[in-house]
Each structure stands twice: as structure tokens, then as C-alpha cells.
Structure 1
Amino acid sequence: MKNFKFRIYDNNYNVRIISHEDNIIDLEVNGTAYSVKLSNEVKTTKTPTLVRSASKRPSEPLKVSPSSSNSKIIAPIPGTVLSVDVKVGDEIKIGDRLLVLEAMKMENNIASEKAGTITAIHVKPGQQVLQNDVMIELAQ
């Protein structure tokens, strides 16, 4: 089948592989026949393993200062705005749903963390937003 020449510790070896079936190899080393059984078959994976590196800048949670009179609702993650549930001038209270953001095929309800009046809306349904984009502004 195949012939090989090896040199190990100044010794020359002529190896000829006679047959290879499953995990049994019949070979001849310097004219002497051997039957070798392989312990485990080495299998290579056909699908590569993808490794994602850690984000350079970790996401920052929305921090609302209770003493400030204006607040900005920012996108916690990149996604698509599915619906805006408020309009400019609406009075909202804590826990009211402001909009729905789709990210990674999941719908995320963005709710108000404080009460106030909507002063500006910077997004519309179908719009793509990036992390930390300002979506809505409100005043107390």
C-alpha cells in the first residue's frame, strides 16, 4: 500500500503498510510482519467551533437620578422597535410600558422607572436602535 522510511535514534526503519481495515493495520517493518490494533479512532469535527470574544465595553444599566427633572430612556441592547405605546405629552407612572423592543428574536417591554411626562420620542416602529441610543425623554 504505502512505504515509509523512519530514522529513530540513528536506526533506520523501512515500514510498508500492507492493509488497513477499521482499526487493524497490517504492516511490515524491515521485513518483519506486524498486525497493529489502533486503540481509538481519531475523528475530526467538520463543524468549526466559534468563539465570541467578550465585549470591549460592558452594557451599562439605566440609572435614573431621583433628583433630576429630566430622564432619558436608552436602549439596553441593540434591536428593532416593534411598537411605541406612548406619545408626547402623555403622563406616565412607574411601571408603565413605554415601548416594545425586539432583540435576538425576543420581545422586551421597556417600562418607565419613574413617573413623569413624555417630552420627546426619538424612535418609531420598525426603526433599528443600537445599545445606549436615546429612545424617549421624559420630565417630572
Structure 2
Amino acid sequence: MKKMKFLINGNPYELAVKSITDDSAVVECNGTDYEVEILESRAEQKTPRLVRKNVAPSSSEKVERTHKPTEHVGSQYIKAPIPGTILSILVNPGDSVEIGQVVAKMEAMKMENNIMASSDGVVKTVNVKPGSSVLEGEVLITLEV
């Protein structure tokens, strides 16, 4: 039960809220019970405040997470960049490929993505076929570099 004291026109009043619903409340004022209608209610907002410490980077080096399609990285494996479904394979074992050449197409997140060769070489094996579901990092094509 919430109790409050008021001073109205110099007269002291003691109010106690006995029960409350969405549109009415029962209050006791100076020993007498009253049922009152609630016209407007203001709820106190308790917004949490997030406090974080400043964190310095662990090193001053800039780390590249991915490579450019035309950049030579010397990889002999062409891997799935994200989970998805293989739509088509555009090369066969024995075919020569160049950096940045589209070797397969896959659907991921309702978008068609081109899978490109990360180095020059000759296709050694094709490990998937159209319609295959693949996970991120799964080897799609092996190259002889």
C-alpha cells in the first residue's frame, strides 16, 4: 500500500492507495475510503543505462579478412564463402582457370553468388554438383597450381 501526504490550501491530507486497476482505484483519505476514476496514468520509465569501458585494439596492424578476386593468394582450394546451394558448375576437370574467373554459381540467402577462382591453375577435381547443399568453408573445387 502506497502512502502519500498532501497539503491542499493549507490543509493536510494523508492518502493511501488500497487497490488499483486500469481505470479506477480505491484510496483512503484521512480515514475515509473513496473509489476514484483514473483519467491519465504516467508510468515511470526505467531505461537501463549501458556503461562500457573504452577498449584499445590489441594490435595496430590492419587485418584483411577477405581477398580481392584479382589478388593472387596461391590457394589450391576453392571453398564456399557462405552456406548455400550450388546452382551450376562452370568448369570441368582438366580446364584451365585464371584468377577471378567465375567457376561456379551458388544461391545463398535468396541471392545468386558467383564463386571465383582464387588463383591460376588447372581444375583437378570438382567435389560438388548442381543442387548440392554446402556449408561455409566446404571445398568445392581443387586446383593444380
TM-score range, shorter chain: 0.5 to 0.7
Q: Secondary structure at the match of 1:125?
A: coil
Paired with 1:76 and 1:109, the residues of 2 have a C-alpha distance of: 10
Does the 8 Å CA contact 2:17/2:25 hold for their aligned counterparts?
A: no
Paired with 1:39 and 1:138, the residues of 2 have a C-alpha distance of: 69
**Structure 1 residue aligned with 2:34:** 32
**Structure 1 residue aligned with 2:18:** 15
Q: Quick one: which of 105, 115, 125 aligns to 2:120?
A: 115
**Structure 2 residue aligned with 1:95:** 100
Paired with 2:142 and 2:25, the residues of 1 have a C-alpha distance of: 79
> What are the within-5 Å matches in structure 2 for residues 55-66 of structure 1?
61=66, 65-66=73-74
- Extract unaligned runs of 5+ from structure 1: 1-5, 41-59
Paired with 2:125 and 2:17, the residues of 1 have a C-alpha distance of: 83
1:136, distance to aligned residue in structure 2 (A): 0.2
Paired with 2:139 and 2:96, the residues of 1 have a C-alpha distance of: 19
1:96, distance to aligned residue in structure 2 (A): 1.4
**Structure 1 residue aligned with 2:52:** none
Aligned-residue RMSD, C-alpha: 3.2
Q: What is the TM-score when the length of structure 1 is the normalising length? A: 0.62
**Structure 1 residue aligned with 2:144:** 139
Q: Count residues with an aligned counterpart.
A: 108
Q: What is the TM-score when the length of structure 2 is the normalising length? A: 0.60
1:93, distance to aligned residue in structure 2 (A): 1.6
Does the 8 Å CA contact 2:16/2:27 hold for their aligned counterparts?
A: yes
Does the 8 Å CA contact 2:97/2:123 hold for their aligned counterparts?
A: yes
